[in-house]
């Protein structure tokens, strides 16, 4: 009896780790009910992605969904389409996928193994240049030496760094961002990538949580420590906008034709600038949950979705927001960039997607 009990309590024999970058996503009739972390428009279709490599698409505004064929089982965090057929997904283990058939099938273009090699090569090259400069760049050389050691240690465990945002200007030029200051660029539709991390002043290696183009055409990365990174030349060069906030920012909105910029993030934080990002004002907090997604409606109004399903709406360019009671419940992770219709938004999160119907506002910020 004791021998039997000991056998039952003994740890299972060690097995080789499963590489989720090589395991296709499991096909399931309930895939659309899983945890979905990203949602995007692909022409008239809607595409959502999330845990375990699940990607689903809908041609009837989210009423019914079909599951895509995906070659990996890692969590997917971001989607971007440049047409109804051509799009990309990014996620954990540094993966980047591409579709050319409207999300039905996907192919892997990039992963964290390639990312580690690119970043190590870049850091070693920059370290050698700093060391060659002697005393003038001794401090930089030490910093880069530590960075190389850190990344070598991380790379020894494999492709562990997630990508958290992806954006494309067209069928060829794109950028991907992620944890610890990852920034990658492609000029050939994702077939080849280069690390552009050194183009942003980020010695601390702060995380980049999202990337998108705002109303004036510039690109903005929202990230850790309340910092925004802005590029006016397609990502070739960047400036840092310090909002004065110390926490995570998850996104940025700006109505077309407006100089106002609205940033949102952890704990219901909403920040607004009226002078092109030079100074920032914190708006009153209407919710305590993280604001995880946002959109600019065709009429110029702004909507922000909180992680608990509540929605903030502004009709004055982000100068003030109204808290809309939109059915708090299952956690949300993302908001579809375009509304489904009057007072109807589509959100993704725990349990799949759901419609948020904007009711009468109970609270407003002054």
Question: Model confidence over 140-153: pLDDT tens digits?
Answer: 889 889 989 988 98
Q: What are phi and psi of 203, to 5 degrees?
A: -65, -25
Which residues are within 8 A (CB) of 283 and not within 5 positions of it... i.e. 6 or more apart? 270, 271, 272, 318, 320, 321, 365
pLDDT one-digit tens code per residue, 203-212: 888 999 999 9
Q: What are phi and psi of 99, to 5 degrees?
A: -125, 145
Q: Tokens 């060659």, residue?
A: 132
Residue 181 scores a pLDDT above 90: yes
Spatial separation of the C-alpha atoms in residues 212 and 210, rounded to whole Å: 7
Residue 342 scores a pLDDT above 90: no
Residue 1 scores a pLDDT above 60: no
Q: Tell me the mean pLDDT in the region 25-30.
A: 97
Q: Tell me the mean pLDDT in the region 261-282.
A: 97
Spatial separation of the C-alpha atoms in residues 334 and 51, rounded to whole Å: 13
The pLDDT value given to residue 366? 41
The pLDDT value given to residue 210? 98
Q: Ramachandran region of residue 352, left (φ > 0), alpha (ψ -120 to 50) or beta?
A: left
The pLDDT value given to residue 358? 75
CB–CB of 34/332 below 8 Å?
A: no
Residue 72 scores a pLDDT above 90: yes
> For the chain, what is the mean pLDDT?
90
* Higher-pLDDT residue of 6, 244: 244
Residue 9 scores a pLDDT above 70: no
3-state secondary structure of 179: helix
The pLDDT value given to residue 328? 56
pLDDT one-digit tens code per residue, 230-246: 999 999 999 999 999 99
pLDDT one-digit tens code per residue, 215-226: 889 999 999 999
Spatial separation of the C-alpha atoms in residues 219 and 202, rounded to whole Å: 17
Alpha helices per DSSP H over 45-192: 112-132, 138-155
Which residues are within 8 A (CB) of 132 and not within 5 positions of it... i.e. 6 or more apart? none
Burial of 8 (0-12, 13-18, 19+ CB in 10 A): exposed
The pLDDT value given to residue 343? 76
Residue 19 scores a pLDDT above 80: yes
Spatial separation of the C-alpha atoms in residues 109 and 50, rounded to whole Å: 18
* Higher-pLDDT residue of 59, 18: 59
pLDDT one-digit tens code per residue, 76-119: 999 999 999 999 999 999 999 999 999 999 999 999 999 999 99
With b for 16 or more beta-carbon neighbours within 10 A and e for fewer, the 309-339 pattern comes to: bbbbbbeebbebbbbbebbbeebbbbbbbeb
Spatial separation of the C-alpha atoms in residues 37 and 151, rounded to whole Å: 27
The pLDDT value given to residue 106? 99
- Domains of the chain, start order: 215-366 (2.130.10.10)
Q: Tell me the mean pLDDT in the region 282-294.
A: 94
β partners of residue 76: 91
pLDDT band at 14 (very low <50, low <70, confident <90, very high): very low
CB–CB of 306/289 below 8 Å?
A: yes
Q: Tokens 């400069």, residue?
A: 133
Q: Worst-scoring range by mean pLDDT, 13-22, 262-271, 315-324?
A: 13-22
* Higher-pLDDT residue of 311, 36: 36
pLDDT band at 48 (very low <50, low <70, confident <90, very high): very high
pLDDT cut 90: percent of the chain above it:
74
* Higher-pLDDT residue of 321, 15: 321
Nearest-CA neighbor of 321 among 332, 305, 309, 336?
305
Q: Worst-scoring range by mean pLDDT, 91-95, 260-264, 353-357?
A: 353-357
Spatial separation of the C-alpha atoms in residues 250 and 31, rounded to whole Å: 26
The helix (run of H) or strand (run of E) holding residue 16 is none
Spatial separation of the C-alpha atoms in residues 253 and 280, rounded to whole Å: 14
The pLDDT value given to residue 238? 98
Nearest-CA neighbor of 360 among 314, 322, 308?
322
Residue 3 scores a pLDDT above 70: no
Q: Ramachandran region of residue 158, left (φ > 0), alpha (ψ -120 to 50) or beta?
A: left
């Amino acid at each position: 009896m004791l021998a039997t009990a000991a056998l039952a309590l003994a740890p299972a024999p060690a097995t080789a780790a499963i590489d989720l970058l090589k395991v296709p996503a499991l096909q399931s009739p309930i895939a659309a009910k899983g945890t979905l972390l990203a949602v995007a428009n692909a022409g008239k279709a809607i595409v959502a992605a999330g845990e375990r490599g699940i990607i689903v698409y809908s041609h009837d505004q989210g009423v019914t969904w079909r599951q895509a064929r995906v070659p990996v089982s890692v969590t997917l965090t971001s989607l971007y389409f440049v047409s109804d057929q051509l799009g990309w997904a990014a996620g954990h283990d540094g993966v980047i996928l591409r579709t050319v058939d409207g999300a039905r099938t996907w192919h892997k273009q990039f992963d964290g193994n390639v990312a580690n090699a690119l970043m190590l090569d870049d850091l070693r090259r920059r370290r050698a240049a700093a060391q060659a400069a002697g005393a003038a760049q001794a401090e930089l050389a030490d910093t880069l030496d530590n960075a190389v050691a850190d990344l070598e240690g991380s790379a020894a465990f494999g492709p562990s760094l997630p990508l958290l945002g992806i954006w494309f200007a067209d069928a060829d030029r794109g950028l991907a961002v992620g944890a610890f200051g990852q920034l990658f660029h492609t000029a050939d539709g994702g077939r080849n990538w280069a690390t552009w991390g050194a183009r942003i002043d980020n010695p601390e290696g702060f995380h980049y949580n999202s990337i998108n183009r705002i109303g004036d055409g510039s690109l903005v990365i929202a990230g850790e420590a309340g910092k925004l990174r802005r590029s006016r030349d397609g990502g070739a060069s960047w400036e840092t906008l310090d909002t004065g906030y110390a926490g995570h920012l998850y996104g940025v909105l700006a109505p077309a034709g407006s100089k106002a910029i609205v940033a949102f993030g952890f704990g219901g934080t909403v920040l607004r600038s009226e002078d092109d990002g030079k100074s920032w004002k914190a708006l009153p907090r209407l919710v305590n949950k993280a604001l995880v997604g946002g959109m600019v409606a065709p009429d110029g109004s702004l909507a922000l979705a909180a992680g608990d399903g509540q929605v903030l709406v502004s009709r004055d360019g982000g100068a003030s927001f109204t808290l809309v009671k939109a059915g708090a419940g299952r956690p949300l992770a993302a908001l579809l960039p375009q509304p489904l219709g009057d007072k109807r938004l589509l959100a993704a999160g725990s349990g799949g997607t759901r419609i948020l119907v904007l009711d009468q506002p109970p609270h407003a910020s002054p």
